[in-house]
Amino acid sequence: MAATDVDVSVSEGMRTLSLGGHVGFDSLPDQLVSKSVSQGFCFNILCVGETGIGKSTLMNTLFNTTFENEEASHYLDKVLLRPRTYDLQESNVQLKLTIVDTVGFGDQVNKEESYKPIVDYIDTQFENYLQEELKIKRSLFNYHDTRIHVCLYFIAPTGHSLKSLDLVTMKKLDSKVNIIPIIAKADTISKSELHKFKIKVMSELVSNGVQIYQFPTEDEAIAEINSSMNAHLPFAVVGSSEEVKVGNKMVRARQYPWGAVQVENESHCDFVRLREMLIRVNMEDLREQTHARHYELYRRCKLEEMGFKDTDPDNEPFSLQETYEAKRKEFLSDLQRKEEDMRQMFVNRVKETEAELKEKERELHDRFELLKRTHQEEKRNVEEKRRDLEEDMNSFNRRKVAAETLQGQAFQAASQLSIKKDKDKKNFFTLPSACSLTAGRNLN
């Protein structure tokens, strides 16, 4: 290459050169597109809204298909997050779509902590990605990224104002996810009421400091359309998977006795605007914002909690090795201190237990001595009663023997008396004088 073919412009630490011919690195965008298409894409949508507000119907309408759906109950005692992942393909582009539904949101009597399961779920996905990123052997190339890229927040079409639950939930989520507010079932209120409701919603969001996702206007190619669409927020949408014949063609619409609300008619609702902004224009920006803004914020806070910083107190570059060594020493010293505390606590507990055991042993000994004395006294009492009983038995036996002797003597005496009487009587009847006397008495 000749020196005259090279223009050198010296700037601060950088030189800009002009090429003398075609090199070929202008094909990098095509290479990137080809690689991205071969890898496929992932997109994760979080649908937040009350049960029955039309979340599943809108998802079916957005992607022109029918996803799995289970009827949710209004009587759940807590909010459950139900993620479902689907593989979609359009032309030669593959999309791994994850739809996360908030089952039971807003159905509880006490709604103060309804947002916590949602925040915990988002943080869990960030934590999973961070753990994968911090591994020595990482596999981010084929890692299934489950971080939430956009939150479609469904607002009930009350026509009055936002509920306190909506404001609190969106305020808790705005630093963790891209929020796009949506007025669901927009065909239930009139156009004038809908326009006033939109203004009221945006006014309340601004006054409460809720940061919703703004479509980017830095790229000149999409700056105009994004700027105009920012003015339509929140989108008032109607979802339907049914086709109705309007004129000579079949369109997706909701049929009513007074007419049909066409889903893809911009004069009826903002569904087309939502689909354009969410899928066809800003899907990649939502993915980038999730990684570069929300995930980076979570990652920075997590690493700062762990003691990692970009600079030390002297504003010198921070060494990861030094930080690791310092944290390791701090951890070891903290571990040693905890071991000493636990050892001391164990010794104290042992001493306390020994003292308690000695006290219980003393109490048991005292109780044993008391029982022993009581036993001895009772034994003496029993011996005395036994002796008394033996004396009573001996006295009884003596009386019994004496009674039996007297009874025997009396019986013997009675027997002898009876024998004597019988003998006397016999002798009496055998005497002659007795017989004569008896005969004379009979004659008289």
pLDDT by residue for the chain (444 residues), tens only, comes to 444 444 444 445 678 888 888 888 888 988 888 888 888 899 999 999 998 899 999 999 999 998 987 777 778 888 999 999 999 999 889 999 999 999 999 888 888 889 999 999 999 999 999 999 888 888 888 889 999 999 999 999 988 889 999 999 999 999 999 999 999 999 999 999 999 999 999 999 999 999 999 999 998 889 999 999 999 999 999 998 888 888 888 888 888 888 889 999 899 999 999 999 999 999 999 999 999 999 999 999 988 887 777 666 666 666 667 777 777 888 889 899 999 999 999 999 999 999 999 999 999 999 999 999 999 999 999 999 999 999 999 999 999 999 988 888 888 888 888 887 777 777 766 655 544 544 454 444
Residue 33: per-residue pLDDT: 87
φ and ψ at residue 155, rounded to 5 degrees: -105, 130
Q: What is the pLDDT of residue 433?
A: 52
| Per-residue confidence (pLDDT) for residue 312, from 0 to 100 | 61
Cα distance between residue 407 and residue 399, in whole Å: 12
| Amino acid (1-letter code) at residue 301 | C
Q: Would the CA dihedral through 278, 282, 286, 287 be positive or negative? A: positive
Residue-level pLDDT at 429: 62
Amino acid identity at 236: A
Say how many CA atoms lie within 13 Å of 392 toward its Cβ.
Answer: 6
Contact call for residues 263 and 253 (beta carbons, < 8 A) = yes
Contacts of 272 (CB under 8 A, 6+ apart): 264, 265, 266
Q: What pLDDT shows up at residue 443?
A: 44
Query: Distance between CA 333 and CA 86 in Å, rounded?
Result: 49
The label of the residue with tokens 């990652």 reads: 299
C-alpha torsion sign, points 285, 290, 292, 294: positive
Specify the 3-state DSSP secondary structure of 252: strand
Instruction: Report how far residue 180's alpha carbon sits from residue 101's, in angstroms, rounded to the nearest whole number.
Output: 15
